[in-house]
Structure 1
Amino acid sequence: DCKLRMRKNPLRVMDCKIAGCKALLDSASSILIDSLDEESKKRFTKVLEHLDEMKVEYELDPTLVRGLDYYTHTLFEVVLKGSDLAICGGGRYDNLIKQLGGPITPAIGFAGGVERTIEALKTQEAIVPDPVKAELFIVQLGERAKSKAADLFEKFDTANFRVASSMGRGNIQSQLSEANKLNCPLVIIIGDQEVHDKNVIVRDMKDRSQETVIDRDVIKIVSRKLEEKGMRIS
């Protein structure tokens, strides 16, 4: 079976469950990473850097493959901690939309198992919050700003704010439009200048007023503004 896969689609060999084949693949895993071209290596390194910045735990698996052949670049699976159970998986696909007759649209997606996710929630006794609109939207302009935005997103999320962002967009108007769709009362704007000056711009989406706030005070200021609007969600 693997010999046939080698002729038709060599990457599918990595999906083999036979112990002998898996042992051979494990021994060759470093070769697989070293075989990436320079562009792919740079892209993959950037993905890992963003995961590190967001403190997302991950394990590299050079032999990971998915069942569909339209993926490009990064693949991933989300595994329940302390278990080998994958509750969802997906990856990037640059050419899929075009293959379906649409415009060239690089995208990323995933599929999750409903039953597995429910079982995982029960196992961890997780409390699922009621769906609530976002209180805050973070706009980022540039790579350095994107890293700071990701870090700030994590801090607001940890502080129990309903925060949203669109890290894949680079245009300020498209991001503000997204914030409007979510009816966010406040927006934080971060550009290269704000990264350098260690501050952010906080904009009121209703009256369009805005102020510059230093990094260490941003959560306190945003919380106060939301309380004044009677919109702070505990």
Structure 2
Amino acid sequence: MWDSKESVYNIITKPALKKARTPPKAPDKALDPITVKTLLWRMKNNMKLRETATFGLLPGSTKPQPSKFLRKHSKEPNLTVKRTIATDRCTSKKAPLPDLTNQPPRYGIKSDTDYIYSNAERVIKAKADRSHCPRKEVLEHEKPGFGRLPMYLVKRKNEIAKIIAKGIAEKQDKCQHPGTRRLEGDEKQKIVNGLKIKWAVVNAEYLKLPFIADTDAQKIRKNRYEQELENLQRDISLLSRKTVLVADSGPSQINPSLM
């Protein structure tokens, strides 16, 4: 019944269905003709991807190859090989033979030289070779520059001495009184020695007086000697100071506050 051409389904017309709009298909590149070169490249690329995958090497890749066996000294580093020039002994040049025609050999020639005497004379006249002799060790304190101050210390010492002298001069200029001068060392020592001699003379006269003065003349002389000795001692102590100022002409204008 179903195979009959007079089927009801053949008489009834089917309603037309609305077709959905589909985008146009892009041309399939896989259907393009593939060259042999492209196919080989794809196969080689797929093999590389498979080798780097986590499933291991390709089956059959670990199979030993008879042509790639371990040779002798293959793990050693390759050194530069020196080129050797092959020379043939038969073709190499040798020294020419002596010319026996012009210079015949000499036989039986004797010399009258006394080699013992000549060697002794040469040794006697030769200078002694002291290169192998041990040199005398020079001690540290025997060197020429031992104990000498270096130049930078000498320079620093001179600079400090100049600064000190300049400060002393400035101090003296500030303390200098008008109309006075500083008494130098030799002149001051000469005056002090003269005062000491005078004190010794007065003291000798004072010791000649009696222990107990009975008369008025003895009392006056004793008081005068004591006063003179006291003045001499005061003058000596005054001149014994480090700085002594004196006036050459007229009375000196000394500031009492600086005394």
For Structure 1 versus Structure 2, the TM-score category normalised by the shorter chain is under 0.3
* Higher normalized contact order (CA 8 Å, seq sep 6+, divided by chain length): 2
Name the TM-score, length of structure 2 as normaliser: 0.16
Question: Which has the larger share of strand?
Answer: 1
Name the TM-score, length of structure 1 as normaliser: 0.17
Larger radius of gyration between Structure 1 and Structure 2? 2
